[in-house]
Amino acid sequence: MYAIVEIAGQQFKIEKDQQIFVHRLDAKEGSKVDFDKVLLMNDAGKINVGAPVITGAKVTAKVLEHLKGDKVIVFKKKRRKGYKVKNGHRQYLTKLEIQNIDAKAPAAKKLAVEAVAKPAAKKPATKKAPAKKTVAKTTAVKKPAAKKAPAKKTAAKKAE
């Protein structure tokens, strides 16, 4: 039996008793964490695909330890420009051991879903917004003013 589950924004294919490394979780070492975003389950060839998740399915894991991943070197260079930058990074990780994959919904969750599904007793009446009055606007078209011809400079030429 295996499942595809979303943990901390990433999807993992998991099986029982498998150990995986995920992004750092806010849980103490030795504590148990539950993941309910199960996207797919395969039980001996019987595949159950969620839309987008399988309702009621749950994965239980135990936090083994918090650690840092391997160092990653980021080196940037532009040739003939004298540009070199070297950066390093170590990702914070959590090591998990998958303990149980459940396909069934707990009884408490079923009751909560049924309570939400029942319609409310009576909704208060809502007022309708008053209809907007439409006023026909008349637009007067302005005629462009007639351009005056430029004054002739004939008087200046005669004086010469």
CA 32 – CA 106 distance, rounded (Å): 17
Average pLDDT over residues 95-122: 67
Burial degree of 35 (CB within 10 A; 0-12, 13-18, 19+): buried
For the segment 26-53, the average pLDDT, to the nearest whole number, is: 93
Please state the length of the chain. 160
pLDDT at 125: 66
User: What integer pLDDT is reported at residue 109 of this predicted model?
Assistant: 46
Going through the chain in order, the beta strands assigned E by DSSP cover 2-7, 10-15, 19-23, 32-35, 38-43, 46-49, 58-78, 83-102
Tens of pLDDT, residues 119-149: 555 666 666 666 666 666 666 666 666 677 6
pLDDT band at 25 (very low <50, low <70, confident <90, very high): very high
Q: Are 49 and 65 in contact (CB under 8 A)?
A: no
CB 63 within 8 A of CB 29: yes
106, pLDDT greater than 60: no
Total-model pTM: 0.59
Whole-number pLDDT of residue 44: 87
User: Residue 35's closest CA among 66, 14, 65, 64?
Assistant: 14
pLDDT of residue 113: 47
Which of residues 66 and 124 earns the better pLDDT score?
A: 66
pLDDT exceeds cutoff 50 at 52: yes
pLDDT band at 108 (very low <50, low <70, confident <90, very high): very low
Please determine, for residue 30, whether its predicted confidence score (pLDDT) is greater than 80. Answer: yes
Amino acid residing at 155: A
